[in-house]
C-alpha cells in the first residue's frame, strides 16, 4: 500500500505541474492576443509566402490561438489525470496516457518544423523576396495590414526599407503615386518627434520633414533612418522563436514526467491486484483440497478412526489407539438410520419424531 501511495503521490505531483503549464499556456495565448503590435509585426514574417499572405490575420494570431487551445486541452488532460489518479483504473490511465502522447507528438512536430524546416511553414526572411514583397505590397490599396506592419517595424527599430531606403525607388507606392510624388521614402522612415507614442506608426510626425525627404545624403543623414530593417526583423523572429522553444521544452519535460508517472501507476496497480488475488486463490485452493479430502474419506473402502487411549496394560501411556471401520459398518451406523428416520418422518407427527428416533437408536 505504501508503494501504491508513492505512485499516486508522484502522479498527482506531475498532474499539478501539468495543470500549471496548461493554465500558463492559456494565459500566454490571451496575452499574445492582447499584444496587437506583436501580432501585426508577425505579418512581415510571412510576406514572402503567398499562402500565409492570403490569410485574413497575421501569422502570430493563429499561433496565439493554437497556444490557447493547447493550454485548454492540457488543462482538461490534467483534470482527467487527477480523476484517473483517484479512480486508479486502467481505463482512465490509458485515456490520460494517450492524450498526453498526442500533445507531446504535436508539439514535437511543430518544434522540429520551425527549427529545421521553417520554409515548409512559409516563414522566410530571404532578402530578395522581402524586397520584392515591399515593392509590390507597401502602400497598395488592399494591403493596409502589410503597410502598417512595415511602418511599425521602421518606427520601432529605427530602420528604413528591407535592404535600404532605395527599395522604395522602384516600389508601386512611388511609381503608381499612392504616396506623395515628391517623397522618396515614407514618413515612418524619418526621425519622429512623436516616436515615444504607442500609435506613432499610424500617424508619424517627422521632426524635420523637408530634410528627411531630401535627395541628398548629407541633408537627410541626420533626419532619416538609414539602417536596414531585415536584420532587426531576423533578431525579433529569433527572440520569439527562442521563447516558444524554451516553453515547449519545459512542457515536453513535464509531459515526459507525466508519462513515466502513469507507467509507474499502472505497474503499481498491477502488483496491487496481484497481491489481492493471491489470498483469494489460496483460499480457493484450500477449499478444493478440503473437498477432495472429504470425498476421499467418505468413499474410501476402509478409513481409520482414532480414539484416545489412556494407558496400556502395564500402566504405560502409549498414545491414541486406532480401530478400523469398514464401509459396510459406516452404512449400518449412519446411512440406514437416516433412511428409517425419513420413513418414520412421513408417518409420525412432528411432536413424536424426535422421541421415536432416540428410541430407535437406543
| pLDDT one digit per residue (tens) for the chain, 362 residues | 444 457 778 888 888 988 998 899 899 999 998 999 999 998 888 877 777 777 888 888 988 898 899 889 889 888 888 887 777 677 777 888 888 888 888 877 777 776 666 666 657 778 888 899 999 999 888 889 999 999 999 999 999 999 988 899 888 888 887 766 678 899 999 999 988 888 899 989 999 888 988 888 888 888 899 899 999 998 998 888 888 888 888 888 888 888 888 888 777 665 655 555 656 555 666 666 666 665 555 544 444 444 444 444 455 444 444 444 455 555 555 555 555 555 555 555 555 555 655 554 44
- CA 14, 19, 25 angle in degrees (round to 5)? 125
**CA pair distance 278, 284, nearest whole angstrom:** 10
Domain ranges of the chain: 7-125+233-276, 127-230
- Residue 331 has phi, psi (to 5 degrees) of -65, -40
**CA pair distance 326, 181, nearest whole angstrom:** 131
Would you say 224 and 212 are in contact if contact means Cβ atoms under 8 Å apart?
yes
pLDDT at position 335: 53
pTM tops 0.85, yes or no = no
pLDDT at position 275: 59
pLDDT at position 229: 92
pLDDT at position 338: 55
pLDDT at position 347: 54
What secondary structure, in 3-state letters, does the chain show? CHHHHHHHHHHHHHHHHHHHHHHHHHHHHHHHHHCHHHHHHHHHCCCCCHHHHCCCCCHHHHHHHHHHHHHHHHHHHHHHHHHHHHHCCHHHHHHHHHHHHHHHHHHHHHHHHHHHCHHHHCCCCCHHHHHHHHHHHCCCCCCHHHHHHHHHHHHHHCCCCCCCHHHHCCCHHHHCCCCCCCCCCCHHHECECCCCCCCCCCCCCECCHHHHCCCCHHHHCCCECCCCCHHHHHHHHHHHHHHHHHHHHHHHHHHHHHHHHHHHHHHHHHHHHHHHHHHHHHHHHHHHHHHHHHHHHHHCCEEEEEECCCCCCCCCCCCCEEEEEEHHHHHHHHHHHHHHHHHHHHHCCHHHHHHHHHHHHC
Report residue 304 as a C-alpha cell. 481409520
Report residue 311 as a C-alpha cell. 494407558
Amino acid at each position: 500500500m505504501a508503494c501504491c501511495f508513492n505512485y499516486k503521490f508522484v502522479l498527482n505531483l506531475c498532474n499539478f505541474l501539468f495543470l500549471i503549464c496548461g493554465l500558463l499556456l492559456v494565459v500566454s495565448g490571451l496575452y499574445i492576443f492582447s499584444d496587437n503590435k506583436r501580432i501585426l509585426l508577425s505579418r512581415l514574417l510571412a510576406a514572402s509566402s503567398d499562402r500565409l499572405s492570403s490569410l485574413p490575420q497575421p501569422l502570430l494570431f493563429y499561433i496565439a490561438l493554437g497556444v490557447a487551445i493547447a493550454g485548454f486541452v492540457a488543462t482538461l488532460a490534467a483534470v482527467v489525470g487527477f480523476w484517473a489518479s483517484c479512480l486508479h483504473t486502467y481505463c482512465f490511465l490509458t485515456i490520460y496516457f494517450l492524450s498526453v502522447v498526442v500533445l507531446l507528438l504535436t508539439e514535437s512536430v511543430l518544434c522540429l518544423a520551425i527549427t529545421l524546416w521553417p520554409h515548409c511553414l512559409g516563414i522566410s526572411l530571404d532578402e530578395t523576396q522581402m524586397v520584392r514583397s515591399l515593392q509590390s505590397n507597401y502602400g497598395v490599396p488592399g494591403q493596409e495590414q502589410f503597410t502598417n506592419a512595415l511602418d511599425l517595424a521602421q518606427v520601432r527599430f529605427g530602420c528604413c526599407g528591407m535592404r535600404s531606403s532605395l527599395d522604395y525607388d522602384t516600389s508601386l507606392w512611388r511609381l503608381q503615386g499612392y504616396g506623395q510624388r515628391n517623397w522618396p521614402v515614407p514618413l515612418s522612415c524619418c526621425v519622429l518627434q512623436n516616436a515615444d507614442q504607442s500609435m506613432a506608426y499610424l500617424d508619424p510626425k517627422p521632426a524635420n520633414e523637408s530634410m528627411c525627404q531630401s535627395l541628398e545624403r548629407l541633408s537627410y543623414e541626420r533626419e532619416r533612418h538609414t539602417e536596414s530593417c531585415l536584420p532587426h526583423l531576423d533578431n525579433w523572429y529569433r527572440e520569439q522563436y527562442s521563447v516558444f522553444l524554451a516553453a515547449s521544452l519545459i512542457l515536453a519535460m513535464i509531459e515526459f514526467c507525466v508519462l513515466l508517472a502513469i507507467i509507474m501507476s499502472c505497474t503499481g496497480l498491477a502488483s496491487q491486484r496481484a497481491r489481492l488475488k493471491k489470498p483469494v486463490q489460496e483460499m480457493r485452493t484450500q477449499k478444493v483440497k478440503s473437498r477432495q479430502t472429504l470425498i476421499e474419506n467418505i468413499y474410501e473402502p476402509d478409513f481409520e478412526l482414532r480414539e484416545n487411549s489412556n494407558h496400556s496394560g502395564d500402566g504405560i501411556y502409549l498414545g491414541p489407539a486406532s480401530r478400523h471401520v469398514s464401509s459396510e459398518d459406516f452404512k449400518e451406523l449412519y446411512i440406514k438410520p437416516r433412511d428409517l428416520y425419513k420413513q418414520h418422518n412421513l408417518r409420525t407427527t412432528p411432536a413424536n419424531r424426535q422421541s421415536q428416533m432416540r428410541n430407535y437408536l437406543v
